[in-house]
Every structure is written in structure tokens, then in C-alpha cells.
Homo-oligomer: A and B are copies of this chain.
Amino acid sequence: MNFTVSEENYIKSIYHLQQHAGIVNTNALAAEMQTKAASVTDMLKKLSAKKILQYEKYKGFKLTDNGKKVALTVVRKHRLWEYFLVEKLGFEWDKVHDIAEELEHISSSELIERLQHFLGNPSFDPHGDPIPDSNGKIPKLNQQNLTALTLNKNAVVSSVSNQSPQMLEMLKHYSIAIGTSIKLIKRFEFDGSLEIKVLKQPACIISEQIAKNIFVHYE
């Protein structure tokens, strides 16, 4: 079945919201989509008729299995294109989101299979987010929050949950990026800040607020 750009964007947003919340409600989706609740209701009816949603009036909604499959296809496209933009075209990782938002709606599935192969079948995008395979399977990484890391054990930064320009600025300052080797030296009880050691950098202290957004995995 074919979907409009608007439908695909709704499906993707619902997917992301239900990852956290299980069931999604109208206002949350309206906020996510930067639109009005009435517009959401209109779209819910359409997606429900297309069997993308389990939807009961006033009771919230979630994707059907088929809906999830559509969502994962869009997510896959988005992340492959982000990888392309950063690794092949040399974009900074904080500049690629809006462009990938457009590219993810190009319909050809042969295109995306060839792109994946051209990129060397990457498993994670430049933000460390996993790239679903063509069957919708998502690669898993045993990652944990930096704040939960064992002291003095080497780990590698695998993703960053806050991808705002402000966050990127701070990460650059600390020389932290996806793939960076990192070690936790000390936790400060006073405000939860952490002393860390980044490879080839002197030890430094980062706030708990930053650390909470950094995820790592052991080598």
C-alpha cells in the first residue's frame, strides 16, 4: 500500500511516541507533529481505515503490526540517508535531520537497498541510533547510560539522546562523539556530576544533565 508524505510522518511520530508510552493520545501526537488536535483526529480516522492503527475514540491508539512495519521502513530510510549525508557528503551530524526528513519519503525500495549496500550495510546512524534492516529488525547494542557506568572501565560512546545544537556544542567542547573511548573516574555526590577521561584528553568534569544523555557500551 502507498502512503502520502503526511501519512508517513504521522506513522513515524506515533511509532516514536509509543516506544516510550505504549499507548498514544491525541494531544501528545499533536504536540509532536506541531499541529492541532482536530487535524490529528482527522488523520487517525484515515490511518485507522487503512488498518495502520488500533484506534478507539477517546481511548488513545497504537500502531498495528502492519503500521509498525511501515514506520520501521521510514525510520530505516531516514537513518540510512543520515549516514549517507554525514559519511559520504561530509555534513555535520546536527545538520542532517531536516534533509533526511525529506529524503525518507522517496518511495523506491530498490533505491534504499542499493543505498544500504553502497554504505557498507551500517548498523547505526551518525547519532548512534540503530538502522532497521529490510525486514524491520533493529540491531541491539548492550548500551547503558554513562551515569550507570562501572568506574575505571573503558567504554565507547554509542548514542546521544538529546541531539540539539546546544548539546552538540557541549559535546564538541569535550571532544565527545559517537565512537569516542571514554572512562568514568569518579562520581561527585554533591550534584551528581562526573569526572571522566576521554581518550587523548585530560580528565574533566561533566554535569549530570549532560551525562544522562550519553549512552555507552563496553568494548
Contact = CB atoms under 8 A, between A and B. Distances in A.
A114 interface: yes
Interface string A77-100: 000000001001111000100110
A110 B91 CA distance: 9
A118 interface: yes
Interface residues of A, number: 18
Nearest to A108: B99
Contacts of A98: 108
Contacts of A7: none
Interface in A173-208: none
A162 B34 CA distance: 46
A107 B102 contact: yes
A52 B85 CA distance: 32
A20 to B, nearest CB: 30
Contact of A103 (B90, B91, B106): B106
Chain copies in the assembled complex: 2
A118 B87 CA distance: 11
B114 A90 contact: yes
A110 B115 CA distance: 20
A108 B95 CA distance: 11
Given A99-B108, A102-B107, A103-B106, 17 more contacts: A85-B111, A88-B118, A89-B111, A89-B114, A89-B115, A89-B118, A90-B114, A90-B118, A91-B110, A91-B114, A95-B110, A98-B108, A99-B106, A99-B111, A102-B106, A102-B108, A103-B103
Interface of A: 85, 88-91, 95, 98-99, 102-103, 106-108, 110-111, 114-115, 118
19 contacts: A85-B111, A88-B118, A89-B111, A89-B114, A89-B118, A90-B114, A90-B118, A91-B110, A91-B114, A95-B110, A98-B108, A99-B106, A99-B108, A99-B111, A102-B106, A102-B107, A102-B108, A103-B103, A103-B106
